[in-house]
Amino acid sequence: MIRALLQVVLLPDRTRVLVDTRFRRLWQALVLVYALVVSILVSVDYVEYNEPDGWWPLLFGVVAGSFALMVLRSPLLAWRLSLPGLVVTRVLLTSEPAILGPWQWCWYLPVLASVGLVYSGRVVLVVGVLTGGVLYLVGAMGDPGYFPSTAVLLLVVLLLAYAFGSRGRAEQRYQAERDERAALVERARIAREMHDVVAHHMSLVVVRCETAPYRITGLPEDGLKEFAELGEAARAAITDMQRLLGVLRATDQRPDRAPQPGLADVAELAPQAQVARVEVPEAVGLTAYRVVQEALTNAARHAPGSEVSVRVDDVGGALEVVVRNTAGGPSRGGGGGHGLAGMRERVGVHGGSVSAGPTDDGGFEVRARIPVGER
């Protein structure tokens, strides 16, 4: 609870609202326009019914500033400004018997609700207690009879916002867990496929070590012993990798006997593909193949009937894979929504990068850069 109190009162806060909203900028603009209207009404109301002593800019700044902080920084920072603002408005508006005037409800309720929507239960509890305490202080300056109804209404709004926000936070946690599980599944799949590539190289090491005495004449006894030990170490490494593969494979999954595809197999996925004739490591070729495969699957699923182009070039010591599709029919949906994440996992193994996004003609483009290392 002490930590929650420090978070509410003192600690910096960068929790944003409307971050993942599709129309984020539109919502921000609407809130800021609303803030401007309320701030003007506050100032006009003060000048009209009170002695125009020059304090109206302070009211305007407190109201407009709290909304700006809520949208651009964090709801908690907005609440920190608006809570003492209640005291300021009570001091300035001594003629108002109620704790909150009409425009004050329009100002403070959205700020308080945004806190309930976004933050955890402990933070909301501390905010509710501090809000109740300040309202009691403000009520003592005017008519204390307004305190119970005002406090109850504000706290009900805070609790309803928290209840509504809890569902959204639970959905976000569930989605995060799904994404994490999907990432683990994809990493296991990558490890299984990379096992085949590494095992192939290790097998070559074993073969060369065992045939060295017959290929190289005049080897000393120490050299023969060294090759034999290297061969045994390589065999042990292959055995350990096979055991690891058994852990990564699901219980109902059968071993894959077919060799892993490579760069030369991209043409089987897309006959129209333009593939540079370059020698790349097997792991890089496998990654390029999987990127093309996933991008083609996404195009068929989300833009059926579209024209798809595939290009694989050797650019600056890296393999550049570009898959672009034109606009197609309505999306068929389906899929786990983890295709791009899986691509990034695969390309990230080699220190590469993946970018994806819509094109000017309404299509979609996936571009992957895979460093090839030493050839």
Q: Where are the domains of the chain?
A: 2-142, 180-248, 263-371
For residue 373, is it left (φ>0), alpha (ψ between -120 and 50) or beta? left
**Within 10 Å of residue 13's Cβ, how many Cβ atoms?**
18
pLDDT tier at 16, thresholds 50, 70, 90:
low
The amino acid sitting at 76 is L
List the one residue out of 148, 16, 7, 153 whose CA is nearest residue 74: 16
Distance CA 301, CA 335 (A): 8
Q: How far is CA 37 from the centre of its chain?
A: 34
User: Which runs of consecutive H residues, i.e. helices, occur in the chain?
Assistant: 2-9, 24-49, 56-72, 75-92, 102-118, 121-141, 147-215, 221-248, 266-269, 282-302, 339-349
322 pLDDT above the threshold of 80: yes
* Mean pLDDT on 63-92: 84
94, two tokens: 């001594």
Roughly how many angstroms between the first and final C-alpha of the chain, as a whole number? 59
Residue showing tokens 């496929």: 193
Spell out the residues 6+ positions from residue 318 whose beta carbon is closer than 8 angstroms to its own: 352, 369, 370, 371, 372
pLDDT for 370 equals 93
Res 291: pLDDT: 93
Confidence of residue 147 (pLDDT cuts 50, 70, 90): confident
Integer angstrom CA distances of residue 289 from 20, 262, 264, 296, 310: 32, 6, 9, 11, 11
AA identity, residue 19: V
The amino acid sitting at 244 is L
Q: In sequence order, which residues have a C-beta less than 8 Å from that of residue 127 and are 6 or more positions away?
A: 8, 76, 79, 112, 115, 116, 119, 158
Tokens of 21: 């909203």
- Quick one: angle between helices 75-92 and 121-141, nearest 10? 10
Give yes or no for residue 253 having a pLDDT over 60: no
For residue 312, the surrounding DSSP H or E stretch is strand 308-315
- Please identify which residue in the block is written with the tokens 């593909």: 273
Contact 325, 350 (CB under 8 A): no
Which whole-number Å values give the CA distances from 290 to 261, 283, 326, 333, 338, in the listed order?
9, 11, 21, 21, 14
pTM: 0.55
Give the span between the Cα atoms of 130 and 112, in whole angstroms: 12
Q: To which CATH superfamily is domain 263-371 assigned?
A: Histidine kinase-like ATPase, C-terminal domain (3.30.565.10)
Q: What is the DSSP letter of 260?
A: P
Q: What percent of the chain has pLDDT over 70?
A: 83
Beta bridge pairs of residue 367: 322, 355
Lowest mean pLDDT among 15-24, 163-172, 206-215, 225-234: 15-24
| Residue among 91, 76, 39, 89 nearest 61 (CA) | 39
Interval 184-220: pLDDT, tens: 777 777 777 777 677 777 888 888 888 888 888 888 8
Query: What is the average per-residue pLDDT within 170-174?
Result: 76
Tokens representing residue 341 in the block: 């994440």
Residue 16 to residue 164: CA distance in whole angstroms: 17
Q: Say what the pLDDT of residue 256 is.
A: 57
